[in-house]
Amino acid sequence: MLKILHTSDWHLGRSLYGQNRHAEFAAFLDWLMQTLQQERVDVLMIAGDVFDTITPNHAAQELYYRFLAQVSAYCLCRHIIIIGGNHDSASFLNAPKALLFALNVHVIGAATTPIDKEVLVLKNSQGEAAAIVCAVPYLRDRDVRVSVDGESSQDKSLALVNGIKAHYRQTLDLAQQKQQELGSDVPIIAMGHLFSQGGMTLYADGVRELYVGSLAHIGADCFEGYDYVALGHLHVPQSVGGQAHIRYCGSPIPMGFGEAKQQKQVLHVAFTGRLPEITAINIPCFQVLQRIQGDLPHIQAELMQLMHAGSNAYVEVVYQGTEVVADLSEQLEAQVMGS
């Protein structure tokens, strides 16, 4: 049996209204290491947006490299596969890839030339092929489309969609070819970082349109032939086109107050042959986020309840009263400081 853990959209280094969230990310990575050990995972897949910006701060980098080093040192899983997302710097991710490969960490920061570098054969402890992974990173416009003079925006969108689909078809063809050469009916798995057709987002979750001015959303038909598809970019856990094996796992911690009540998860995928059994593993809440909205008396009462309960929640206040309260922030800060 092959066991995979699918995660994505860590966004290491992200802050919230200027509040450092280093402790939350550290707690998540500690939990993830424990989960790898408890579930005896063979492969950890990180489907893009490892970092929140293309220039991650030192603290975010330290978390990333410490996690990879500890997973390797304690032999918590056999392989780690990381693809670049739209928030990541491909060159930054790729820079240490040769060194990380020695730790069985496979990094594909950007689309490769030739494309077969994105098709990985993973081996088990006996040295036998266990799976073939098409590790497709976030595909930029220039990776899949040639600009043509006089194109309309609709032509560009169609060319983008067709280019992305062609890229996945090529990796699938290469994977099937490798499968035949191996003479082993191992599962073929895709990774990707994109916006699917009908994908669900939440208000203020930080998810960006990937192709500005374009409707280049990808449908489930793009992934026909794959046994499992591990996607990143959308922060809400969901399947694509009603297909249970084409999945977003979502972000591991709430990226904004719009995600505050959402149960975060990673996906455990166990293969018997080529059939995946998919189970969601809930991630603990490491820092409570709470939105309070209403008029001033309601907001003050809600804050009072939180203070009496000894809550350490981060609170977003949305004032919906009819009266103008010029010193709203000052009043609320005084109330909290006076607790």
240-287 residue pLDDT tens: 989 999 999 999 999 999 888 899 999 999 999 999 999 999 999 999
- pLDDT over 70 percentage in the chain: 93
In order, the DSSP letters of 208-242 are PPSSTT----B-GGGGTT-SEEEEES-SS-EEETT
170, 114 contact by CB (below 8 A): no
Chain mean pLDDT for the chain = 91
In order, the DSSP letters of 106-124 are EEE-S--SSGGGGEEEEE-
The DSSP H or E segment spanning 169 is helix 153-182
In the chain, DSSP assigns E strands to 2-7, 15-16, 19-20, 43-47, 79-83, 105-108, 119-123, 129-135, 188-193, 228-232, 238-240, 243-248, 265-272, 275-282, 289-294, 314-319
DSSP at 57: -
Q: What are the pLDDT digits (tens) for 178-209? A: 999 998 899 999 999 998 877 776 655 555 55
How far does CA 213 lie from the centroid of its chain? 23
Confidence of residue 213 (pLDDT cuts 50, 70, 90): very low
Q: Look at residue 214 and tell me whether its pLDDT is greater than 50.
A: no
Predicted pLDDT of residue 141:
87
48, 233 contact by CB (below 8 A): yes
What letters, b where the CB count within 10 A reaches 16 and e where it falls short, cover 154-165? eebbbbbbebbb
Predicted pLDDT of residue 173:
97
206, 255 contact by CB (below 8 A): yes
Sequence-distant (6+) residues with CB within 8 A of 77 are 5, 36, 41, 42, 43, 44, 71
pTM of the model: 0.92
- For the segment 29-44, the average pLDDT, to the nearest whole number, is 98
Q: What are the pLDDT digits (tens) for 86-137? A: 999 999 999 999 999 999 999 999 999 999 999 999 999 899 999 999 999 9
Predicted pLDDT of residue 339:
59
Please give the Cα distance from 179 to 32 (Å, whole number): 31
Predicted pLDDT of residue 228:
98
Predicted pLDDT of residue 30:
98
Q: Look at residue 74 and tell me whether its pLDDT is greater than 80.
A: yes
Q: Say whether 76 sits in a helix, a strand or coil.
A: coil
Two tokens, residue 328: 């709203």
